Structure 1
Amino acid sequence: MLLNEVLPALIEYWPLVLSAAVVGYLLNNKFWKGLNRYPGHWLAAYTNWWRFFDAWGRKHEWTTLRLHRKYGDVVRLGPNVLSFGDPKAIKVIYGLNKGMTKSDFYPVQQAVAKGRRIQSLFSTTDESYHAKYRRCVNSAFAMSSLVHYEPLVEATMNVFLDRTERLFAETGKSCNFNQWLQFFAFDVIGDLTWSKRLGFVEKNEDVDGIISFLGKFLSYAGPIGQMPFLDLLLEKNPLRLLAQRLGLSKTVFPVTLFAQKNSNERAADIAKIKAYGLPKRMDSKGVDLLSKFAQAAHDHPEFMTDTQILASCTSMIFAGSETTAISLSSVFYFLLKHPRCYKKLMDELDFAVANGIIEDKPNKSVSWSDSQKLPYLDACIQESFRMHPPAGLILERIVPPQGMDILGNFIPGGTIVGCNAWVLHRRPEVFGQDVDSFRPERWIEASLEQLKVMKATMFQFGAGARTCIGKNVSLLEVYKLVPSFLRRFEIYLENPDREWKTHNAWFVRQLEFHTKFRPRNTPS
């Protein structure tokens, strides 16, 4: 009876009803659990579409930095999203046993195999699953494992240096340096994961178009991750995944296929390791990550299945190449844009060789242990990490249901909170008033106490239990290649007056970084 009276009214006045519903929805967003007290872009309080479109504009890191500089330490990025700019928030949000979980931003980046999601260490939101997974593979990425990986990185680096000389230094051709460095990073991942280079450097091309796919996928994941329900309508539509499981769709996730193809070539060896474990005598070349993952399956068969092994290999492709290439490009770019720093670093390298501090190898390569003896090199790398961290969005966490205090602010349960490295790395009270300038000396001039604060604020690898597990591998690549490349070649910007372009696809990659090289004659 009531329905018969209400329904005609709804039909007659539907524009008014719809308008009222929309207004009610927007006002509910604005005042959601009292978050209206936090400032930000005015649209952010009403809808996540503002965040989506700003991320789609590929400069979201600068937007977030501007908002924090205008409004202070806590900025509202969405109806239930807060960004924290105070470095002291790192321990609260990302510390151990805080009850925080990852948001739905991360599953958007999950690979798919046969219609099923592959949960990696990075993309899973299940903290229990993550803890079990990390225990299985943690030793493979420990600092102590670097001694086993250095021969693999060294082999690829030597090929990269030789190919740079043949393709660019001897010919005088221009090099798309950011792409060339990503070729190097991908081949390192191939050597580290499967004990074979994948052909990017030898062929000077994007093998199987995987880099192109990765770029497009991350460009999708960044904005879509601001409104994750869109992923359920697009890439991970349940009907689409069901069709793959039933064999009605032959669509294969390219990164998954790429990892499977390279892993299948080692199927017999991996089966032996899973059954009997790694031999006690290690190959002098080093033990690759696929072997370590298989060893983890031997040690933890109840958890580490073939799916987890595949997920681990897939993660190496997703994160291992992109972030390292970005970091390498940053170091070289900032040195080239600051000739004083470039010369000072070269003076340090030449002095170290002349005085026997580092070994003078025929191909000019520098070992990991020797790179640790070069304080100005370390300062330049740390400053590059500070100026251009790979991740350009906040690392999202969900406040537990009971809510929690974050630096004197009671944040209600269910709120998404996080920090952005681009904001943290430009805090004047930590790094000095000249935070927008590249000045490596800040890392040398700082007192021990201040240096400790600076290092605690660095967020390029994340923080807490979810710190990037491949951090040490990435550092190994950076600290070996930068001094080796600089000793071997003189580098020039093709157009010194032009700034590079950046593209925030979640990771802030560089574009149009064109350089030329000349063989370098080391002064006596």
Structure 2
Amino acid sequence: MLLNEVIPLLVQYWPVVLVSVVVGHLIHNKFWNGLHKHPGHWLAAYTNWWRFWDVWGRKHEWTIIRLHREHGDIVRLGPNVLSFADPRAIKIIYGLNKGMVKSDFYPVQNAVSKGRRLQSLFSTTNEDYHAKYRRCVNNAFAMSSLVNYEPLVTSTLSVFLDKTEQLYASTSKTCNFSQWLQYFAFDVIGDLTWSKRLGFVEENRDVDGIIAFLGKFLSYAGPIGQMPILDLILEKNPIRLFAQRIGLSNTVFPVTLFAQTRSNERAGEIQKIKAYGVPDDQSNPRGVDLLTKFAQAAHDHPEFMTDTQVLASCTSMVFAGSETTAISLSSVFYFLLKHPRVYAKLMHELDSAVADGTIESRANRTVSWSESQRLPYLDAVIQESFRVHPAAGLILERIVPPQGIDVLGTFVPGGTIVGCNAWVLHRRPEVFGHDVDAFRPERWIDASPEQLKLMKATMFQFGAGARTCIGRNISLLEVYKLVPSFLRRFEIELERPDSEWKTHNAWFVRQTEFNTRFRPRKAPPSSI
């Protein structure tokens, strides 16, 4: 009886009902769990559409820096999202055994195979799954494994230097340096993962269009990750995935196909390793690649490390292994070119190191990992580049456990999404000095031991805690080898000295319009 009376009223006054529901929803968002006390853009308190559109604008890193400078250490980015700027919050939000888990932002970046998501170490939100997965592959990414990987990196580096001379230095042609560095990073991933360069450098092209695909995918994942439900309507629509599982759709995720194709080329060898393990007497002068180590993990942990996990591991290398390293390399070279004094000072260090024997005088002028670790100004330049232009441009989201958590005296209710942004943390004056917006490598040399320890603890380019980027050591190996080797081999200049690059925050802040020219560098005097 009551329903018969209510329905006609709802139909008659539906505009009023609709407006009331919307207003009620917005007011609920505004005051959700008391988060209204935290400042931010006024729209952020009412709807996640604000952060969706801001991230879509591709300059979110500057928005969040400005908001924190205006409003302080806690800024509201959405009805249920808080950003923290105080570096002391890192241990609380990302520390071990805090009960914090990744948000639904991360599964948006799952690759798909035959209609099923591939959970990677990076994208999974299941902490138990992550812990088991990491135990299986942790040895492959340990710092001690670098000795195995350096020959593989050196192999690609030598080809890259020779092709740079052939294509650009000897022709005076303009180079799209960011793209060229990404070709290098991709071929390194090929060598590290499959012991095979993939042809990006040799052929000077985007093989299979995979870099273009990654660019589009990350441009999608950044804003869509602010409202993950959109992914279930668009790319990972359950109906669409079901159609792939039963064979009605033959759509294949390009990165998955890319990784699968390369792995299939060694299917017989990998099946033997999974069955019997890597022979103790097997030697490879070029180093043991990651696919071999993933297969060994499948042999050691067959109950967990299935073919799906091996494929997911290879896919993750394609996803994360090239983009972030290329961004970091571009940053180092760009800031050197924009600061001639720093460039000259670094070249003096390199030449002095060759003269006194710290760097071996090789014919191709490459620098080894161990040699690079004895160059303090090189380290300062690289660390400062990481600081000023970290790869990740969004907060690394975590969900507060149901009981809530105290973050530096502020109680945050359970279910709230919290996080820190590297661009904000890396610009804390009390940590890095008053000139945080300036590129000044000397800050890493002049700092007291206590201050240097604080600075290193605040650096967030690889994340923090149990979910720190597992490939960070490989990325560092590439950066510390390529930068000095390239500088010893070539002189670099901007195509237009007054030009500025453009950046595109697609979750990772990649660079465009970084055009350069190279000249072969004359061998320095034998003594300085």
Partners of 1:404 and 1:337 lie apart in 2 by 44
Q: Which residue of 2 aligns with 1:415?
A: 416
Structure 1 segment 332-347 matched on structure 2, within 5 A: 332-347=333-348
Q: What do residues 129-150 of structure 1 show as CA deviations (whole Å, max 9, x unaligned)?
A: 0000000000000000000000
Q: Which residue does 1:284 correspond to in 2?
A: 285
For 2:184 and 2:97, the matched residues in 1 are separated by 38
For residue 188 of structure 2, what is the aligned residue in structure 1? Answer: 188
Q: Deviations over 1:330-364 (max 9, x none)?
A: 00000000000000000000001011111110100
Residue 144 in structure 1 maps to residue 144 in structure 2: yes
Q: Deviations over 1:444-470 (max 9, x none)?
A: 000011000000000000000000000
Residue 81 of structure 1 and its aligned partner are, at CA, apart by: 0.1
**How much has 1:292 moved relative to structure 2?**
0.2
Alignment of 1:249-288 (within 5 A): 249-281=249-281, 282-288=283-289
Q: Aligned equivalents of 2:360 and 2:32: distance in 1?
A: 62
Residue aligning to 2:510: 509
Distance 2:363 2:500 in 1: 35
Cα distance in 2 for partners of 1:497, 1:295 equals: 52
Q: Does 1:489 align with 2:490?
A: yes
Letter in 2 for 1:225: G
Deviation at residue 496 of structure 1 after TM alignment: 1.2
Under a length normalisation based on structure 2, what TM-score does the superposition of the two structures give?
A: 0.99
Partners in 2 of 1:400 and 1:146 — Cα distance? 37
Residue 23 of structure 1 corresponds to which residue in structure 2? Answer: 23
Match of 2:200 in 1: 200
Aligned 1:35-434 pairs, distance under 5 A = 35-281=35-281, 282-434=283-435
* Partner Cα distance (1:126, 1:210) in 2: 28
Q: For 1:354-411, what per-residue CA distance to the aligned partner results, in whole angstroms no more than 9, with x for missing partners?
A: 1111111010000000000100000000000000000000000000001010110000
Shift of 1:522: 2.2
Q: State the SS of the aligned residue for 2:135.
A: helix
Q: Distance in 2 between matches of 1:346 and 1:260?
A: 42
Deviates more, 1:275-284 or 1:99-108: 275-284
3-state DSSP class of the match of 2:278?
Answer: coil
* 1:252 to partner: Cα distance: 0.3
Amino acid of the residue matched to residue 39 of structure 1? P
Q: Deviations over 1:81-132 (max 9, x none)?
A: 0000000000000000000000000000000000000000000000000000
Q: 2 CA distance for matches of 1:30 and 1:498? A: 43
For residue 489 of structure 1, report the CA deviation from its aligned partner.
0.1
Distance in 2, matches of 1:6 and 1:477, equals 68
**Structure 1 residue 161, shift from structure 2 partner:** 0.1
Q: Where do 5+ consecutive residues of structure 2 fail to align?
A: none
Q: How far, CA to CA, are the matches of 2:366 and 2:358 in structure 1?
A: 14
Task: Please tell me whether the aligned partners of residues 334 and 438 of structure 1 are also in contact (alpha carbons under 8 angstroms).
Answer: yes
DSSP-derived class of the 1:112 partner: strand
d(CA) in 1 for partners of 2:279, 2:432? 48
In the alignment, residue 50 of structure 1 is paired with which amino acid? W
User: Which amino acid is 1:59 matched to?
Assistant: K
Give 1:92's aligned amino acid. I
Q: Secondary structure at the match of 1:65?
A: helix
TM superposition outliers: structure 1 runs of 4+ over 4 Å: none
Residues 180-229 of structure 1: per-residue CA shift (max 9 Å, x gap): 00000000000000000000000000000000000000000000000000
- Counterparts of 1:116 and 1:343, CA distance in 2: 52
Is the Cα contact below 8 Å between 1:392 and 1:421 reproduced in 2? yes
Q: 2-side partners of 1:158 and 1:285: how far apart?
A: 13
Deviation at 1:517, TM superposition (A): 0.1
CA distance in 1, matches of 2:45, 2:280: 59
Matching residue's letter, 2:22: V
CA distance in 2, matches of 1:279, 1:369: 29
What is the alpha-carbon distance in structure 2 between the residues aligned to residue 171 and residue 279 of structure 1?
A: 47
Q: Distance in 1 between matches of 2:91 and 2:352?
A: 40
Kept in 2, the 8 Å contact 1:392–1:504? The answer is yes
Aligned 1:449-488 pairs, distance under 5 A: 449-488=450-489
The sequence identity of aligned pairs, in percent, is 80
What one-letter code is carried by the residue in structure 2 that aligns with 1:56?
W
Indicate conservation of the 8 Å contact 1:100/1:400, yes or no. yes
Give me the whole-angstrom Cα distance separating, in 2, the residues matched to 1:201 and 1:194. Answer: 16
Alpha-carbon distance between aligned partners in 2 of 1:232 and 1:412, rounded to the nearest angstrom: 27
Counterpart CA distance in 2 for 1:361 and 1:158 is 11
Query: 2:436 maps to what in 1?
Result: 435
Q: Distance in 1 between matches of 2:236 and 2:277?
A: 36
Which whole-Å CA distance do the structure 2 matches of 1:424 and 1:196 have between them? Answer: 38
CA positional deviation for 1:283: 1.1
Where does residue 9 of structure 1 map in the other structure? Answer: 9
Residue 284 (structure 1) shift: 1.6
Amino acid corresponding to residue 215 of structure 1 in structure 2: G
Cα displacement (A) at 1:75: 0.2
Secondary structure of residue in 1 paired with 2:214: helix
Determine helix, strand or coil for the equivalent of 1:321: helix
**Distance across 1 between alignment mates of 2:341 and 2:304:** 53
- In 2, the alpha carbon distance for the partners of 1:361 and 1:118 equals 43
Q: Secondary structure at the match of 2:160?
A: helix
Instruction: Give the Cα separation in 1 of the matches to 2:368 and 2:158.
Output: 12
The AA in structure 1 aligned to 2:518 is F
Q: Structure 2 CA distance, aligned partners of 1:193 and 1:154?
A: 14
Amino acid at match of 1:460: Q
* Structure 2: distance between partners of 1:26 and 1:518: 59
TM-score (norm 1): 1.00
- Work out the CA distance in 1 between the residues paired with 2:22 and 2:114: 40
- Whole-Å Cα distance in 1 between the matches of residues 189 and 120 of structure 2? 17
Two-structure CA RMSD over aligned residues (Å): 0.4
Post-superposition Cα deviations, 1:150-174, rounded to whole Å, max 9, x if no partner, equal: 0000000000000000000000000
Q: Letter of the aligned partner of 2:78 in structure 1?
A: G
Measure, in 2, the Cα distance between the counterparts of 1:492 and 1:123: 39
Length, aligned pairs only: 524
Counterpart-to-counterpart distance in 2, 1:370 and 1:317: 28
In the TM superposition, what is the alpha-carbon distance from 1:523 to its structure 2 partner? Answer: 2.0
Preserved CA contact (<8 Å) 1:350 1:522: no
Q: Structure 1: which 5+ runs fail to align?
A: none
Structure 2: which amino acid aligns with 1:492? E
